[in-house]
Structure formats: C-alpha cells, structure tokens
Structure 1
C-alpha cells in the first residue's frame, strides 16, 4: 500500500472506530458520523466506512426517511462522481 493511501485510511480510522464501537446507535448518530467524515478535509476514501454494520443499518426499512439520504451521500463519496452528487442534490432540493 502506498504512503498516500495509508494516510487516507489513517484519516478515516477514527470514524470507522466510532462506527464499530457503537453497536446500538441511533440514525442521528450515524448521520452525524457520515457528516463529520465527509466534511473532514483529510478524509477522501470512504468505502471502508460504508462497509461497517453501523452505517449499513441505515438501509433498514425502519430508518426514518430523513436519515436515508446520508447513506446515499456516503455512497456518492465512496464511489460516485461530482455529477452524481449534483444530480442527487438537485432532485432533493426540488
């Protein structure tokens, strides 16, 4: 693993740790975790966080609709493009 990728994973580790350390978390906690990870200027890889059970719990049909967009946001940050983000943002604004 090259040094840049190692640093990127190290920057994400605190968020992964929080996700793994809290098994019974509220959707609000998970949404805040996603917001903090995606707004941190040192994090720019997100797939490892997306794979955690805590984050995946947002897929539950019991998750309030207001929190489901956070999973979509993290998926865009992990695998998407700027155009994907703009498209989702435009559709959620209308």
Structure 2
C-alpha cells in the first residue's frame, strides 16, 4: 500500500479532502519477527477524530524490514504502509 492509498483511505474515512501528509500519533512499536540476519518491525499510528461529537480513531502502521550485520547494527531495507483494523 502506498502513502497515497493510506491518505485516500483516511480522507474517505474522515470525509475530507486528501491531506498532503498522513496525520497520526505513534502509539506502539512492535518487533514482529527477528532472526540473526533480519528484523521486521511495525510502528502503529492512530488518528483521533471528534467532529461528530464522538471519539473515532483511524489506525495504520508502517512495516519496516531491516537487515542486521555481524555486530547487530540495523540497516533499513524496505518500508511500507498498511491499514490496521483492530
């Protein structure tokens, strides 16, 4: 999923024009899978919305794939955005 896809999904959900940037508050950082050579990490975001008088939240996450060298240093290889429906 591209940044544009997430922006369009958010705009549709909130009922507004597509914003330039993805709003969001990071709320969780989770290592999903780790081996000696790589790490898959997810950074979760929420976007609160209260214009209707009720609290609603839009969720998405960034999945990051890192490789690890022999010293354990991480190098970002790939990053992608995904919708999250709790």
- TM-score bracket for this pair, using the shorter chain length: under 0.3
TM norm structure 2: 0.23
With normalisation by structure 1, the TM-score equals: 0.22
Larger radius of gyration between Structure 1 and Structure 2: 2
